[in-house]
A and B are shown apart, each in its own frame.
Chain A
C-alpha cells in the first residue's frame, strides 16, 4: 500500500487556493479573446478588454482577480489503494484552505451558520466532494466559487414529458433571469438526470471542464452547442450591457435517472472561472 502524508496535501491545497484566485486559466482567457473578436456591442467589447487587462494585473501583481475569492469547492478522487498518513483527509483539505486564504490575502467569505451569520475568519469549511477510484493516487481539484454566479443557479424537477425541449428552455430561462447578475460572459454548467442532488452535483462538476471542450458524446455536444447559440441570442452580453457574448460555454453532464423523473440543475460560473488541479502520487515509505 502506498502512502501520502497529510502535509503534502495541506501544502498542495494552500498553493492551489492562491493560484486559482490569482491566475485565470488559459482556456478562459482564450475564449474571452475570441469573444472580443466577435462582439458587436461597443460596451461589450470594452468590458471584455478590461477583463483581459484585469486578469493580467492579477497574474503579474499576484493579487486576486476578483474580491469574491469564493467558498472553496474541492473535488477529490481517492485511489483506493492509498493510505493517508498523519491525520484526517478532510481536516488536511480544510487546513490547506485555511493557510491558503491567509497567506494569499484572500477574502474570508464563509459564515458559520446560515441564520446567525458569523464569519469563520478562515474560509473553512470547504465544500468537499469525494469519489473513490482505482489506483494509488490522489487527484485534487480546487475551485473557488463566488456568490454572484452561484446565487443565480436553479434546479427544476422536470417531468419526463417535458423532454429535451423542456430541459433546454429551463436552462435558457435561468440564464435570462440571471441577466447581468452573475458577471457575464458566463460558463453554464448543466446537470441532467440522477436525482435532485445528483443533478446539482453534475452541474457543478460540469464547470470544471475546460472552456471549449465539449462532452465526449456527440449527441450531448450538439445539445451544448444549441444551448450556447440560444443563450447568446438573448442579448444580455458582457456584464449585461447588451451584446452577443452572454456565455462562453455550456457544459452538459448526464446520469441515469428514475422512470418518473427528469431533474435539471443549472450552475452558473462567472468569467472568473477558477479551478486548479493536482495529482499526488502515493509513495513507499
Chain B
C-alpha cells in the first residue's frame, strides 16, 4: 500500500495534478453528491442556459444516494454507486471545471478523454462500505432537487474520507494496471 496523501478541498488543478493512479488519499473539506437523476437535471439545466445548483469549478462530486439518517446521525450509510451511469453527463461537468469524481467501477473513453483534456481525477471509494464511510461525513445538507429524495444534491463536509486514485489526469488507470499485474489466464 502506498503512503497516504491528504487532500483538502477545493481540489485545484495544482493539487489534482500531483495525484497519481494508485494513490491512497484521505479527503477533507466540502464535496457534493449527485447521481443519475441529479446529473440528468444538471446537464439539462446547462442545455437551457441555466446555472448549476453549485459552482463545479475545482469541486468533487461523490456519486452516492445515502440511506435516510437515523435520529442522531448526520447521514445514513453512504458508499459509492457505480460510476458508468454518469458517463453520459460527466464530460459536460468536467468541461465546466469539475476536478474530481468519487464512485466505483469503470469509466468510458469519453470521460477519460475529458479528464485528460481539462484536468480531472477519478477517485474510487470502496463499494459496499456505506456504514464506515458515513462516519467520515461530518455534515450534510440538501442544496438542490430535494424532490429526488436519496438522489438530491447534498453538500457534504468530510473528514479523512478514504479514497483511491483510480484514473489520474494522465489517464493512468488502476483497474487496468491492477488487473494486468494479477492476471494469470
For the complex, is A63 an interface residue (Cβ under 8 Å from B)?
A: yes
In the bound assembly, the distance between CA atoms of A68 and B66 in angstroms comes to 8
Which residue of B70, B77, B162, B180 has the most chain A CB atoms within 10 A of its CB atom?
A: B77
For the complex, is A96 an interface residue (Cβ under 8 Å from B)?
A: no
* Range class of the A interface residue count: 35 or more
In the bound assembly, the distance between CA atoms of A195 and B174 in angstroms comes to 39
Q: Is the CB of A61 within 8 A of B105?
A: no
Q: Is the CB of A63 within 8 A of B70?
A: yes
Complex partner residue of B130 from A47, A67, A108, CB under 8 angstroms? A67
For the complex, is B1 an interface residue (Cβ under 8 Å from A)?
A: yes
Which residues from A are CB-within-8-Å of B132? 50, 53-54, 57
Q: Which of B56-72 contact A (CB under 8 A)?
A: 64-70
For the complex, is A7 an interface residue (Cβ under 8 Å from B)?
A: no
Which residues from A are CB-within-8-Å of B131? 54-55, 57-58, 61, 63-66
Q: Is the CB of B178 within 8 A of A54?
A: no
Closest chain-B Cβ to A176's Cβ sits at a distance in Å of 9
For the complex, is B104 an interface residue (Cβ under 8 Å from A)?
A: yes
Closest chain-A Cβ to B140's Cβ sits at a distance in Å of 13
Which residues from B are CB-within-8-Å of A65? 77, 128, 130-131
For the complex, is B10 an interface residue (Cβ under 8 Å from A)?
A: no
For the complex, is A31 an interface residue (Cβ under 8 Å from B)?
A: no
In the bound assembly, the distance between CA atoms of A63 and B104 in angstroms comes to 21
Q: Is the CB of B67 within 8 A of A180?
A: no
For the complex, is A280 an interface residue (Cβ under 8 Å from B)?
A: no
Closest chain-A Cβ to B22's Cβ sits at a distance in Å of 8
Chain A residue nearest to B64 (CB atoms) is A67
For the complex, is B78 an interface residue (Cβ under 8 Å from A)?
A: yes
Chain A residue nearest to B179 (CB atoms) is A235
Complex partner residue of A63 from B76, B84, B184, CB under 8 angstroms? B76
Q: Is the CB of B126 within 8 A of A67?
A: no
Which residue of B130, B131, B162, B181 has the most chain A CB atoms within 10 A of its CB atom?
A: B131
Closest chain-A Cβ to B35's Cβ sits at a distance in Å of 10
Which residue of A40, A46, A107 has the most chain B CB atoms within 10 A of its CB atom?
A: A107
Among the 9-residue stretches A157-165, A198-206, A216-224, A238-246, the one with 4 or more Cβ atoms under 8 Å from chain B is A238-246
Closest chain-B Cβ to A105's Cβ sits at a distance in Å of 5
Which residue of A66, A69, A180, A182 has the most chain B CB atoms within 10 A of its CB atom?
A: A180
Interface of A is mostly: loop
Complex partner residue of B69 from A43, A69, A105, A179, CB under 8 angstroms? A105
Q: Is the CB of B129 within 8 A of A54?
A: yes
The 0/1 profile, CB within 8 Å of B marked 1, for residues 74-116 of chain A is: 0000000000000000000000000000000111110000000
In the bound assembly, the distance between CA atoms of A240 and B73 in angstroms comes to 31
For the complex, is B82 an interface residue (Cβ under 8 Å from A)?
A: yes
* Range class of the B interface residue count: 35 or more
Complex partner residue of B76 from A64, A147, A151, CB under 8 angstroms? A64
For the complex, is A250 an interface residue (Cβ under 8 Å from B)?
A: no
Q: Which of B106-160 contact A (CB under 8 A)?
A: 106, 124, 126-132, 134-135, 149-150
Which residues from B are CB-within-8-Å of A55? 131
Closest chain-B Cβ to A181's Cβ sits at a distance in Å of 4
In the bound assembly, the distance between CA atoms of A255 and B131 in angstroms comes to 39
Which residues from A are CB-within-8-Å of B135? 57
For the complex, is A254 an interface residue (Cβ under 8 Å from B)?
A: no
Q: Is the CB of A234 within 8 A of B183?
A: yes
For the complex, is B47 an interface residue (Cβ under 8 Å from A)?
A: no
Q: Is the CB of B134 within 8 A of A63?
A: yes
Which residues from A are CB-within-8-Å of B164? 43, 241
For the complex, is A207 an interface residue (Cβ under 8 Å from B)?
A: no
Contact residues of A with B, CB < 8 Å?
A: 40-43, 46-47, 50-51, 53-55, 57-58, 61-69, 105-109, 117, 119, 121, 147-148, 151, 179-183, 230, 233-237, 239-244, 270-272
A/B interface sample: 10 pairs, CB < 8 A: A41-B181, A50-B162, A57-B132, A65-B77, A66-B79, A67-B77, A105-B70, A148-B105, A237-B178, A271-B128
- List 5 tightest A-B contacts by C-beta distance, closest first: A242-B178, A235-B183, A183-B127, A181-B105, A235-B182
Other A-B pairs beyond A57-B135, A108-B149, A148-B105, 12, CB < 8 Å: A43-B1, A55-B131, A63-B131, A65-B128, A67-B79, A68-B79, A117-B37, A181-B82, A233-B183, A239-B127, A240-B179, A241-B164
